[in-house]
Chains A and B, each alone.
Chain A
Amino acid sequence: MSIGGRPGKSVAVVLGSRGFAIVASIALLVLTLSPVVREPTDDGFPLSTYPMFATERPTELSMVYALGVTRSGERRYLRPFLIGSGEVLQAYMILAGAVAGGPGTTQALCQAIAARIRELGDIDIVTVRIVFGKHDALEVLLDHKLGKETERTRCSVKRS
């Protein structure tokens, strides 16, 4: 349908009509609110249930992470970008994915982390360890008391 034989104008009339505005408004609002009928933990993007901070959690945390060991034997927590992502949660997913893949992928990730450390050059880390730790968050943060750690793999930061 066109007005005065100009198709462009008819599109403008439809898009500028109240009817179009009502349909667009309802569609977008229903779409945005649609996650409310999903399981609240069934997250998505960009239509999210926003489950962050909602889940009841024990204070005990079991997770895999990477550690650096300095020349003098001190432990260092490694920044997420050394794992492979600037984002802390995505760095964690990389670590968890590598460990789930078995010893081969864990060692490959260890080597990749060691290579990034080597490229930076000025970090005093000679060994990378990928460990599985089980800690109580309140004990660590309030009393500085670490739980149990089990090593999954280790590799050296070879410098020429």
Chain B
Amino acid sequence: MKRLRDWWFAPAPAERLAALRIAIGVYALGWVIIRYDEIINIATQPSGFQPIGIVRVLETPVSPDLVAVFAIATCVLLGAFILGIAYRVVAPLAALGLLWTLTYRNAWGMPFHTENLMVMHVIAFAFMPAADVWALARRRPSPESGYGWAIKLLVALTVATYMLAGIAKLRIAGFAWLDGELLRNQIAIDNLRKLLLGDSTATLGTTLLHHPTIMTAFSVLTIVLELGSPVALIGGRIARLWALGAWGFHVGVILLMNIWFPYAVLGFAFLPIFEVERPIAWLSRRWRARRQ
């Protein structure tokens, strides 16, 4: 138990957690801004509202104006979250705003799986001392718990997501998922659906439909990456290798199905595995040097 505690609370610099707050906050803010029109547009639909998650408190849709107010408030809160202003109050509110806005959007039609981990990361930040440095507030002293646990928790949430995806495949399809036929059919169906709905199809996906052996290899690799995700908690080179493999998997999904998981493809899902404070500290040093 002591070893587990020592590992979970192994020290990490406050700057790393702050860098993660800034990076993930910027991504979340950018996501809501880019998706703003879509969020409002879908809320004007006359039918198709199927409440999920916290939106289950509603029986009928709210006015699109209210959806817009929540989305704009979420953007403002995320801005303050990035800057580290009044963090103890702002971080939970920003997490709640993001959770509500994106859950409401996902309540129209099929839930996406591209936003879940980002939302869980932002929720986790609400419990973390992530604005003790690199914030527009006075520098706080280090807490007793330190910062290492918070970074490990962000990695653990990423790991849990991939684990769940792997477990779902085995629970739903069993080991038959590994033979590649199921994946081939998924790729074929997904590309046909995209074609019929006027979206771009993945050329590589349709080409590889001729090669079932490659599909088997992709299936096995997918399960190995998903169920092997806990190696990311070990840290160091093995964690970075896993992150590279998982990133490659998402690139593969784009090439085979033209399905984008931007949080992973742009690397944000894996940032907690890396020493992300270094580039920001370098930029900060350069900026200060210029001012002097």
Contact = CB atoms under 8 A, between A and B. Distances in A.
Interface stretch (B18-26, B67-75, B191-199): B191-199
A53 B198 contact: no
Nearest to A88: B199
A43 interface: yes
Contacts of A28: 120, 123-124, 127, 153, 157
A90 B186 CA distance: 18
B109 A92 contact: yes
Nearest to B153: A25
Given A57-B189, A84-B45, A91 B145 contact: no
A32 B193 contact: no
A16 B116 CA distance: 27
Contacts of A35: 164
A1 interface: no
Contact of A137 (B157, B182, B191): B191
Given A16-B145, A18-B9, A44-B52, A137 B192 contact: yes
A84 B176 CA distance: 38
Interface residues of B, number: 77
B206 interface: yes
Contact of A79 (B127, B198, B206): B198
A46 B144 contact: no
Contacts of B109: 85, 87, 89-90, 92-94
B140 A12 contact: yes
Q: Which of B99, B157, B191, B192 has the most CB of A within 10 A?
A: B192
Interface string B219-248: 000000000000000000000000000000
A2 interface: no
A141 B124 contact: no
A101 B48 CA distance: 10
Contact of B103 (A46, A52, A66, A87): A46
A140 B192 contact: yes
Interface of A: 11-13, 15-18, 20-22, 24-25, 28-29, 32-33, 35-36, 40-41, 43-59, 61, 63, 65-66, 76-80, 82-94, 97-98, 101, 105, 108, 133, 135, 137-138, 140-142
16 contacts: A18-B144, A25-B152, A36-B167, A44-B53, A45-B103, A51-B172, A56-B172, A56-B182, A59-B189, A80-B199, A85-B109, A88-B199, A90-B108, A92-B110, A93-B108, A93-B109
